[in-house]
Structure 1
């Protein structure tokens, strides 16, 4: 995803400032970070193992000569991969905007295969930009529940009865290695949050009524393939997202220290009580 204009990186993760004033709004992805992702632990361990296997002789030598530096590097292997993947995703999103708007974009050989797949998908569905695309990279707000997020694409597709057009909200997902059929459990919650936000920001930062979306999907873009996968984004998914939002906010404001409890006769108990 690109960096939305009102998104701000904080020590608690990304938040959005509200142009109309009021409290900052937690980003959809930030809220979803409160959900446990158990697959990440073995994945991170696997990335570290791959780094060791790729150069076992040098690793063994460094384990004897500079173990502290080596440990720090191995611990950070998965973060380096994550940062590269996030950077690639941002660049693909930027290229997608230029493709849809037919505006110039600097040459980027790593990104271009994804742009080719997006263009192929648009041709497959016979999407005409002026007729079918309602919005791209648009920020939506839900002030009542205190969150905001940015959607990738609102587009009309002929998926209803007798070819009737329906409005889809689509989120791009990029990867170099994952199969194009991959869907993670929290991704429907992300789309539910975007779908149920009642307000979107117009170019002049005023409020507009977000359109009513019929269906939601992921567009998984890979260097040599693409796949549109419909995912649910109804009441159950929205309720789950709101639960994640409450959890994230609690974790962001919870104290890191709590008082020690001692019996009244223990040494130092009086002082601790007075300090409390």
Structure 2
């Protein structure tokens, strides 16, 4: 028994908390946020421009009486899109977990029907055996944790059984940092279930991502090895730098001044030259 795990948010990052020891460690996705993503700036600018063009008359009407309101509407375009996609992703993940556990889904909302159909096809074609789902991978050695989607047993082309750690993605594409994410889960020390029961991380043969959208699905292998995991650990160290160490490296001024002047530094040579009164 390791103690149930909860989460808290501090400074824009998620931390996993062991209820028994009160130990807090950063979440895998918060560690991954340490990556430089320069493409986000032009993407957000594009979303803002599209919101302006698509709502030209409405924005002009709002701006006539409430300039700040119009500005807020436009600058929130990327945030609204991200929030909408996150809601769809959460709803889909909940449905996928129920389906892979063998639960019946009595009602599927219209906007979820394509996801339901494609996940059903995945289950039929791949025939995965569920080992665990939505447990927490916890690293005692490197101090991080994260909730993964599924640990599966599947068969390769030769019929050899493989233990695969898998993730569901419902966005527009799959990106290289999913390999960092999966390595973090797979190289953790133990698994913790919702009741707080802890077991050592089993041997994992491979990692994969199920990219599933309203148009198609694909089950793709993801590179899973020590080299990829080392790159994740670099980000883990960067997280400590960003959150903690960077706040300790600048000291108080030796001297300072301003428009009204300031006190000059008294050097060691000057101090030694001063005679006692």
Q: TM class, shorter-chain normalised?
A: 0.7 to 0.9
SS in 2 for 1:16: strand
Q: What's 1:189 paired with?
A: 180
Structure 1 contact 157–166 (Cα < 8 Å) conserved:
yes
Q: What's 2:82 paired with?
A: 82
**Displacement of 1:154 after TM fit?**
1.1
**Displacement of 1:85 after TM fit?**
1.2
Per mean C-alpha deviation after superposition, the further-off stretch among 214-223 and 194-203 is: 194-203
Q: Residues 79 and 261 (structure 1 numbering): CA distance in 2 closer, same or farther, change over 3 Å?
A: farther
CA distance in 2, matches of 1:258, 1:54: 50
Question: Which runs of no fewer than 5 residues in structure 1 stay unpaired?
Answer: 272-276
Count of residues in correspondence between the two structures = 258
Residues 50-89 of structure 1 mapped to structure 2, 5 A cutoff = 50-89=50-89
CA distance in 2, matches of 1:108, 1:249: 42
Structure 1 contact 12–252 (Cα < 8 Å) conserved:
no
CA shift digits 1:164-223 (9 cap, x unpaired): 111111100003xx2xxx322311100110010120013431320111111111100111
Residues 1-276 of structure 1 mapped to structure 2, 5 A cutoff = 6-103=6-103, 107-127=108-128, 132-159=129-156, 162-175=158-171, 178=172, 182-253=173-244, 254-255=246-247, 259=252, 262=255, 267-269=261-263
**Displacement of 1:29 after TM fit?**
0.2
Higher Rg of the two aligned structures: 2
CA distance in 1, matches of 2:150, 2:43: 30
Using the size of structure 1 for normalisation, the TM-score is 0.84
CA distance in 2, matches of 1:260, 1:76: 40
CA distance in 2, matches of 1:249, 1:5: 21
Q: What's 2:273 paired with?
A: none
Q: Residues 263 and 143 (structure 1 numbering): CA distance in 2 closer, same or farther, change over 3 Å?
A: same
SS in 1 for 2:199: strand
**Displacement of 1:264 after TM fit?**
8.4
Using the size of structure 2 for normalisation, the TM-score is 0.84
CA distance in 2, matches of 1:17, 1:101: 27
CA shift digits 1:146-170 (9 cap, x unpaired): 100111111111116x311111111
CA distance in 2, matches of 1:89, 1:203: 21
CA distance in 2, matches of 1:9, 1:136: 23
Q: Residues 40 and 258 (structure 1 numbering): CA distance in 2 closer, same or farther, change over 3 Å?
A: farther
CA distance in 2, matches of 1:38, 1:139: 30
Q: Residues 15 and 56 (structure 1 numbering): CA distance in 2 closer, same or farther, change over 3 Å?
A: same
Q: Residues 212 and 19 (structure 1 numbering): CA distance in 2 closer, same or farther, change over 3 Å?
A: farther
**Displacement of 1:53 after TM fit?**
0.8
CA distance in 2, matches of 1:268, 1:103: 73
Q: What's 1:274 paired with?
A: none
Structure 1 contact 155–168 (Cα < 8 Å) conserved:
yes
Per mean C-alpha deviation after superposition, the further-off stretch among 139-148 and 198-207 is: 198-207
CA distance in 2, matches of 1:200, 1:58: 51
**Displacement of 1:5 after TM fit?**
5.7
Question: Which runs of no fewer than 5 residues in structure 2 stay unpaired?
Answer: 266-277
**Displacement of 1:19 after TM fit?**
3.9
**Displacement of 1:38 after TM fit?**
1.6
CA shift digits 1:236-255 (9 cap, x unpaired): 21111111111122212243
